[in-house]
Amino acid sequence: MKKRFIFFLLLIINYYAKAQEFTSYEKPLNISLYSEILKDSVSLEITLPKELKNQINTKYPVIYLLDKQLHINYTYNLYTIDYLSSLQWIPKAIVVGVTFSRKNRISWTVPNENGGKADDLILFIDKELNDKLNREYPISSFNLLIGHSRTAIFSSYALTKKPDFFNGIIASSVSNFDFGDEVQQKQFNTFLNKISSSPNKYYYFFSVGEKAYGDLHESAVDSLSLYLNSKELPKNLEWKYFKHQVAHDLTPGVTVSNSLSQIFKDYGRRIDLCFKLAKSSKNKVPWNDFQDLYTSISTELGLKIEPSELFFNSIASEYYNDYDSIYGNKKLNFTLEILLKAIEKYPEGYDYYTWIGEIYITLKEFEKGEYYLNKAIKLINKDKSISEFDLKNYLKEIEALKKTK
């Protein structure tokens, strides 16, 4: 009986160990950083994209995920970020979890003017923490805060104090400037005046549960929504109010995914927009239009967005399959044009070389076809991550392509 118990305990431990794995992110790194500004140590967890070590020119947005000590919501939101990143709806980011202890959760979220240290915490993030991240990782200038309850109120205040650093917030069960606090309301009005002349876009996404379900912030957040609706807001401020029929503690789980999806909606639908650009240009590949689209998204978010494997695979498939019979006898040439650009950026992509070789053979340019298929064979044999079974199948398919000439 004792052996069976130990066996099932090991199974449970193994299950939870595997449950901590992310699709697009590495295992989190836990560190403690002493702040000269706060005169205190800050417990942090840094989660990096798996692709980071293989990238040279990519700079990543930073998401500050507050309340790491609230384990269930924190972990759920980490997995939400992983889910949206893996499906390429949001860009991969460097995620920084910040722990708030019982002794500092109130003081660190109250403005200095009211006897707290919120301004010091903002300065710590902007200076000390950002300097450390900048030294160690390729970060962009896009910074997003995600908080709940007290840290949602802090997030709202931080955005208004440092709009030259923070681009936006997701604030679950926030309140009307800390339940009507005049200092924070005055600061918010200053913020609105300041950003009206800024070239940047700002995101103010907030939520609440309902009092009937146990969220006592409902009336305060309703008044925040009424306040925003009563004002003529700057055009570069995008805001959204979510109200959920849930308890206070559940609001992060139903707010963060919706908010991230909307903040990055143009990034998320970039391939669909590229499909439309391709369809509207029947006689040539609209490279300038593609680049203008990516430049526009980059400008809005404040980080460089470039065509990735998703772009090359999707647009090449659009031309190759030509389901709507738009491109006629140009479809294979357009596909080639995309794939030849793809191998400039991904020179180890044996799938691209195989596809290029297949198209050249279809076009009866056999010498070129064989060149690219042989290149694919070399790359496949070099890739140690391919299983023996897959390796045999890949090579078998390529040899079959060679025999079609």
In this prediction, residue 237 carries a pLDDT of 96
Q: Over the stretch 84-124, which tens digit does the pLDDT of each residue have?
A: 999 999 999 999 999 999 999 999 999 999 999 999 999 99
**pLDDT by residue (tens digit) across 133-173?**
999 999 999 999 999 999 999 999 999 999 999 999 999 99
pLDDT band (50, 70, 90) for residue 405 = low
Side chain identity, residue 167: N
Indicate the SS3 state at residue 81.
helix
Q: Domains in the chain, ordered, with CATH?
A: 22-268 (3.40.50.1820), 270-402 (1.25.40.10)
Question: In the prediction, which pLDDT does 20 show?
Answer: 58
Q: What is the pTM of this model?
A: 0.85
Q: Which residue has the tokens 């949602």?
A: 152
Q: In what order do the strands lie in the sheet with 29-35?
A: 29-35, 40-47, 94-98, 60-66, 139-148, 168-172, 202-208, 237-243
**Which tokens hold the place of 98?**
């910040």
Closest CA to 165 of 116, 206, 120, 125: 125
What burial letters (b/e) apply to 373-386, b meaning 16+ CB within 10 Å?
Answer: bebbbebbeeeeee
Which string of DSSP letters, residue by residue, matches 102-155?
TTTTTGGGS-GGGTS-HHHHHHIIIIIIHHHHHHHS-EEEEEEEEEETHHHHHH
Q: Name which of 11-25, 301-315, 350-364 the model is least confident about.
A: 11-25
Terminal C-alpha separation, the chain: 67
